[in-house]
């Protein structure tokens, strides 16, 4: 009878050890999945914020494709614009949202050949529980068209783009 009791005790101890190892492995797997999911969500948030910057650049390209010059030589200017997901039909995902706005605009005229507008853009992107904040400095160039007496949108250049926590 004692042998059966000892054998039963050994079986119970072995089952407890195996069960503990299984619980530990499941717990480790869940934590690892959570960490990798958070890292992936952070990447999604960054790209969401970055897409807001490009969406705002395209909004400037569309809304300010030409700058008129009046009789007195005054040139139209551009205003501060912003975008968020309400403006966009591309991002209808509840988990991914971005908001982008222009915090400052400076204008630099170069010998009447072209005008450079330097815009500082701030963009926040969110995905699931993660968020990302990007500050970007963008130059938008308008080239003078003598035949039309106006400046036409030429191109843009991202001078700086940095992510902040």
- C-alpha distances out from residue 76 to 96, 101, 152, Å: 36, 21, 11
Report whether 139 contacts 156 (CB < 8 A).
yes
* Low-confidence spans in the chain with pLDDT less than 50: 89, 91
In the chain, pLDDT over 70 holds for what percent of residues? 89
pLDDT at site 85:
66
Which among 63, 128, 120 is positioned nearest to 97, based on CA atoms? 128
Against a cut of 0.85, is the pTM above it?
no
C-alpha–C-alpha distance, residues 104 and 87, integer Å:
21
* Extended beta strands in the chain, E state: 66-68, 82-84, 96-110, 114-127, 130-145, 150-164
CA gap 115, 153 in Å, rounded: 10
pLDDT at res. 93: 56
């Amino acid at each position: 009878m004692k042998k059966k009791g000892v054998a039963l005790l050994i079986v119970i101890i072995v089952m407890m050890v195996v069960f503990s190892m299984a619980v530990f492995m499941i717990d480790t797997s869940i934590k690892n999945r959570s960490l990798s999911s958070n890292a992936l969500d952070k990447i999604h948030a960054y790209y969401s914020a970055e897409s807001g910057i490009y969406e705002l650049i395209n909004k400037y390209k569309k809304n300010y494709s030409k700058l008129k010059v009046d009789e007195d030589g005054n040139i139209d200017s551009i205003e501060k614009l912003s975008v968020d997901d309400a403006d966009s039909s591309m991002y209808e995902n509840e988990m991914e949202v971005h908001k982008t706005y222009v915090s400052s605009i400076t204008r630099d005229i170069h010998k009447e050949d072209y005008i450079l507008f330097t815009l500082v853009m701030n963009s926040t992107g969110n995905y699931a529980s993660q968020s990302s904040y990007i500050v970007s400095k963008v130059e938008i160039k308008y080239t003078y068209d003598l035949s039309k007496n106006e400046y036409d949108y030429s191109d843009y250049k991202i001078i700086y783009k940095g992510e902040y926590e």
